[in-house]
Structure 1
Amino acid sequence: MNLSRTSPGMNDAPGLLYAGFNQDYGCFAIGLDTGFRVYNCHPLINQAKNESEDGGIGLVEMLYRTNYLALVGGGRNPRYPPNKVIIYDSIKAKPVLELEYKSEVKNVKLRKDRLTVVLQNKVFVYHFSLPPQLLHTFETCDNEKGLAAVSTSANHAILIIPGRQKGQLQIIDLNSLGYYISVGESDHTNNYIGSPQLPPLLTSDSSNSANSLTHNNSNGSANSSSTRRSINVSIIPAHTGKLSCLSLNQEGSRCATTSDKGTLIRVYNTATGSLLHELRRGVDRAEIYAIAFNQESTRLCVSSDKGTIHIFNLDPSVVTHMDHKPRGPTYGEVVSYPTQSPTNYGLTTTGNRGSALSFMKDLLPKYFSSEWSFANAKIPTESRCLVAFGEQKNSIIAICADGTCYKYYFDPRKGGECTRESFERFLKD
């Protein structure tokens, strides 16, 4: 959550510029106007920090629990130029690689084998090594928030980014971005400091001088004059409005999207592009801050500027089958019925709340066939927050812009209001 790209809150912690989970949601990092910190989630422990008067860090992307981080300068006094990506070794407390562009870096995503850099209208994908090898450049519509998500699966490497048109989603198979042989001039130039013959980044001794890589991104694809194999890219017209938040499950088989309206969350199959679920957060316009799948991809949690976290069921197998009378769209016992009939109104087949008039969905507006969350949690201060499922079963964690961390438990059978398990302040005044 880049706090400079979402609406500020009155309770925001001074000096907090960025917050983001690592790939397995076991850790999170924050960017400050004095540097950065890394915390363990279970329990909440400050594991690493680098703070000084050298300037602010506006983006911190972790690589699982390794000592490598991607940093971008930010705040009133950026430590690094906002158009540079710094790959930083937290053990040696020094940069090992710099990538420079002609415009501001909006986001960075890391996998063990891929490095993705997001600009306003371009996305660069590299093989993650020293030196990095550019695999492809993708064009997008205006992407001020730097929307992008990458799967963590080694066998199913998927990247999702906005398309060239408003509301479109690009689904990219990263394993199809093979190496290519250049047969002409490309639109980027390399300028390395030190030896370019370094071993792969994740196994190298990073005691060498930092490497720098400068890109001219003023034109089209960096590989328009290169020979390569076919790239697997799918385009989905996800929303009519501008995309506002993206998420992938760990396997890369499911993706979730919202628009700037913030009322609907749509879940797609990344292999076929088919719509699997359309979930309703509410009826009022909202700014979505985060979407996260659980590890099994059977549930989804969403946070917004309404100060409420919503939890949705995605798989009927997680719903407890009980003999219970049908009910209307209120929180309570979650029930799944084996068949859809006019008597099972009030619940969808996945156990989410539905309209009591859903049995007339073919005759009524689409609103009456919506799926509503089966559980929710309230952030007392209504601060901007990131949310994810915790390591403990049936738990969620919220990292808030006011410097606080909440843990909630939800009842997988009853749903309804979550129980607050703990509250801690990770960033004190």
Structure 2
Amino acid sequence: MAAAAAADANPIRCASFNQDNSCFVIGTKDGFRIFDSNTGRLLYQRDIGAFVIVEMLFSSSLLAIVGAGEQASLSPRRLCLFNTETGAALRELNFLTSILAVRVNRKRLIVVLQGKTFIYDINSLVILDTIDTVPNLKGLCAFSPCLDGCFLALPASTTKGSVLVYNAIDLHSHCEIDAHRSPLTAMVFSSNGMYIATASEQGTIIRVHSISEATKSYGFRRGTYTSTVYSLSFGPSIGLPDILLATSSSGSVHAFLLGSAIDQRSKRSSTFLGSIIPDSVSDALDAAHHVLHNAVSPGVKSYAVIRKVDRADDSSKSESTSESTSFRATVSIITYNGYFLEYFLNINHRNESSWTLDREFNLLTAIQ
């Protein structure tokens, strides 16, 4: 009864944005829906039963879908590649245990089970590699959509926050990163695959590692109390992303400025005190942190992305701060109780921020 009540309270079973955040899709007890992120328009709706995984391939007609098992035809052990143009299945893949996560890009299809992860060529569906993993009960993974940095990240331990980074194009292990003392609960790659952000079950510290160096870390304190981090998202960038976003069970949305954190760390390391403070302590000193409190009701799962970052000329800044940049980030949030929220996060050259709600609508009552 409690499980049923929880399902009714949170009617969205799954939610994901496509690789460039131009569209997003939700799965419910009735089916799945695709929305245009820019307009909020409902693009496609299919009511054929409950789904727990729905993943898009950019803005194509291809979906990777997995049923919730509430109907015999929608087994959680069956992956269906579905064509929204024809309304028919292109191909199905069956597994011995439940599928916990699926990721796609233009070259690879990733299927995560509890103890194994499979890598397929997405065009031929030939299996290229099988990775034996530690028990991954939540299907935790991260996958870069970029082909030049096409990395897959999986938990490497059940007792600490270690990350296995795997090259999904060349099919070999790239590195292992010891990111946290507690087991992982969230991780994400930057769009170019150059950086990975991670959070542990403690949920107090979020860290960013350079994939090429494997050990270089920037840390951000989300808060002092334990909280479940539901999602992490980098802002779009060619190089080092400007912003990292996090949502958690506290109901707040946290935005961290990576460039400011690097500048602060460089300044600290040049001082005597900064040179002797270890990173585990100095994580708490990074102040490039902007919070939107009570964006979502506490305990309601949410998923947020930074859809775009617009740099702006700040006419109020003085010549002495001419090297500073003001910008506005568009932050889109899906709540699992059925809403879409979009905020503008404005940050000026003095690191002052403001959050403005631009639009909000109910995902379950939208009409195509």
Q: What range describes the TM-score normalised by the shorter chain of this pair?
A: 0.7 to 0.9
**Partner-residue secondary structure (3-state), 1:91:** coil
1:253 and 2:194 aligned? yes
1:403 and 2:338 aligned? yes
Q: What residue in structure 2 maps to residue 129 of structure 1?
A: 123
Bigger Cα Rg? 1
| More off after superposition, 232-241 vs 290-299 | 232-241
Q: What residue in structure 1 maps to residue 13 of structure 2?
A: 17
CA distance in 2, matches of 1:23, 1:76: 29
Q: What residue in structure 2 maps to residue 101 of structure 1?
A: 95
**Structure with the bigger percentage of helix:** 2
Q: Mark the CA change 1:30 to 1:340 in structure 2 (over 3 Å): closer, same or farther.
A: same
Q: Mark the CA change 1:99 to 1:410 in structure 2 (over 3 Å): closer, same or farther.
A: same
CA distance in 2, matches of 1:370, 1:364: 10
Residue 362 (structure 1) aligned to one of 255, 277, 285: 277
1:29 and 2:25 aligned? yes
- Mapped contact 2:143–2:152 kept (Cα < 8 A): yes
1:42 and 2:38 aligned? yes
> For residues 85-96 of structure 1, what are the structure 2 equivalents within 5 Å?
85-96=79-90
Output the amino acid matched with 2:303. L
The number of aligned residues is: 336
CA distance in 2, matches of 1:422, 1:239: 36
> For residues 243-282 of structure 1, what are the structure 2 equivalents within 5 Å?
243-282=184-223
Aligned-pair CA distance for 1:10: 9.1
Q: What residue in structure 2 maps to residue 313 of structure 1?
A: 257
CA distance in 1, matches of 2:108, 2:16: 19
Q: RMSD in angstroms over aligned alpha carbons?
A: 2.9
Q: What residue in structure 2 maps to residue 114 of structure 1?
A: 108
CA distance in 2, matches of 1:363, 1:109: 36
**Partner-residue secondary structure (3-state), 1:125:** strand
**Partner-residue secondary structure (3-state), 1:366:** helix
Q: What residue in structure 2 maps to residue 204 of structure 1?
A: none
CA distance in 1, matches of 2:309, 2:96: 44
CA distance in 2, matches of 1:242, 1:36: 31
Q: What residue in structure 2 maps to residue 381 of structure 1?
A: 297
Aligned-pair CA distance for 1:371: 2.0
- TM-score, scaled to structure 2: 0.83
**Partner-residue secondary structure (3-state), 1:411:** strand
Q: What residue in structure 2 maps to residue 288 of structure 1?
A: 229
CA distance in 1, matches of 2:287, 2:191: 24
Q: What residue in structure 2 maps to residue 424 of structure 1?
A: 361
Output the amino acid matched with 2:228. E
**Partner-residue secondary structure (3-state), 1:419:** strand
Structure 2: where are the runs of 5+ without partners? 311-328
CA distance in 1, matches of 2:183, 2:280: 23
Output the amino acid matched with 1:426. L
Q: Which consecutive aligned stretches of 4+ in structure 1 deviate over 3 angstroms post-superposition?
A: 8-14, 75-79, 316-319, 336-343, 358-365, 367-370, 414-417
Q: Mark the CA change 1:75 to 1:284 in structure 2 (over 3 Å): closer, same or farther.
A: farther
Percent of paired sites with the same residue: 24
**CA-to-aligned-CA distance 1:110-166 (integer Å, 9 cap, x gap):** 011101000001100011123x11111112222122111111222221111111553
1:70 and 2:64 aligned? yes
CA distance in 1, matches of 2:109, 2:140: 15
CA distance in 2, matches of 1:122, 1:95: 25
Q: Mark the CA change 1:75 to 1:12 in structure 2 (over 3 Å): closer, same or farther.
A: farther
Aligned-pair CA distance for 1:372: 4.3
Aligned-pair CA distance for 1:293: 0.4
Aligned-pair CA distance for 1:402: 1.5
Residue 139 (structure 1) aligned to one of 110, 132, 147: 132
Output the amino acid matched with 1:139. D
- Mapped contact 1:88–1:97 kept (Cα < 8 A): yes
> For residues 203-282 of structure 1, what are the structure 2 equivalents within 5 Å?
231-282=172-223
Query: Higher relative CO (CA 8 A, sep ≥ 6), structure 1 or 2?
Result: 1
**Partner-residue secondary structure (3-state), 1:391:** strand
CA distance in 2, matches of 1:373, 1:317: 6
